[in-house]
Homo-oligomer: A and B are copies of this chain.
Amino acid sequence: MTYCVGILVDDGLVMIGDTRTNAGVDNIATYRKLHVFEQPGERFVAVASAGNLAASQAVLSLLTEGIGDPDSDNFATIWTQPSMFKTAQFVGRAIREVYQFDGKSLEQQQAGFDITFLVGGQVKGGQLRLFMVYAAGNFIEATNDTPYLQIGEHKYGKPILDRAIRHDTGLQDALKLGLISMDSTMRSNLSVGMPIDFVLYRRGALQAELTHRIEPGEPYFHDLQDRWSNALKAAHKAIPRPPYGNG
């Protein structure tokens, strides 16, 4: 399983991904799911993947390997896309290429072509945007009303985002809320696990402000987990007991 979340706020973009993959609970491995494609001053694109590992790795390979244009000798890559909209379309095109190649065989083995991607970033001269690209290659976009998108095991970590994330949330607060959301998910689903990769991007910067991997035992994240857990306990204890019956 996987959990990745992208949060698009006025100040910028946060993308967070876990690194656990599993083929059954007896076959667990660590794979990076959050990838950054950056030319400082020109382009910052972060791509996170969930679902079938072989399929999502093949899509990522195509993003830089390139896809031939049937009408010319040109090769399109993620580096040649002139806007974020075109970048999301290109990721969708790479997904369709992989489906053409592998989809039928996967279905014959009941494996399913269940991949989704988050694609966020900014190309020089364009807006900072965040998309979720489906297995069909189509996509939706985060907006001011719904400024975050999730892929993979999204339910456990959604309540805190629903309650707290707004488009005017600060970048560091968005990161903090994303990490709380990741903590809730890891606590309830063993197949989402440490380490955690994240990238912080400030709107207009055209390069990452920070890419970081949080390893197990890292003090800030450990402290965040403790504080959140203790605060939840205090929160439910502070609510009066129900007045029903003998209560």
Contacts and interface: CB of A to CB of B under 8 A. Distances in A.
Copies per complex?
2
Contacts of A156: 155-156, 158-159
A246 interface: yes
A159 B243 CA distance: 24
B228 A172 contact: no
B172 A159 contact: no
Contact of A210 (B177, B240, B244): B244
A241 B176 contact: yes
28 contacts: A156-B159, A158-B188, A159-B159, A159-B187, A163-B232, A163-B233, A164-B232, A164-B236, A172-B241, A172-B242, A172-B245, A175-B242, A175-B244, A175-B247, A176-B239, A176-B242, A179-B242, A209-B245, A209-B246, A210-B245, A220-B240, A220-B243, A227-B238, A227-B239, A228-B236, A231-B234, A231-B236, A232-B232
Contacts of A164: 232-233, 236
Contacts of A220: 240, 242-244
Contacts of A188: 155, 158-159, 162
Nearest to A229: B163
Interface of A: 155-156, 158-160, 162-164, 172-173, 175-177, 179-180, 184, 187-188, 200, 209-210, 212, 220, 223-224, 227-229, 231-236, 238-247
Nearest to A231: B235
Given A162-B188, A163-B233, A231-B231, A239 B210 contact: no
Nearest to A219: B243
B232 A177 contact: no
Contacts of A187: 159, 162-163
A87 to B, nearest CB: 24
Contact of A224 (B175, B227, B229, B239): B239
A159 B184 contact: yes
A209 B233 CA distance: 27
Nearest to A14: B242
Contacts of A159: 156, 159, 184, 187-188
Given A162-B188, A187-B159, A239-B227, A200 B244 contact: yes
A243 B210 CA distance: 11
A231 B230 CA distance: 12
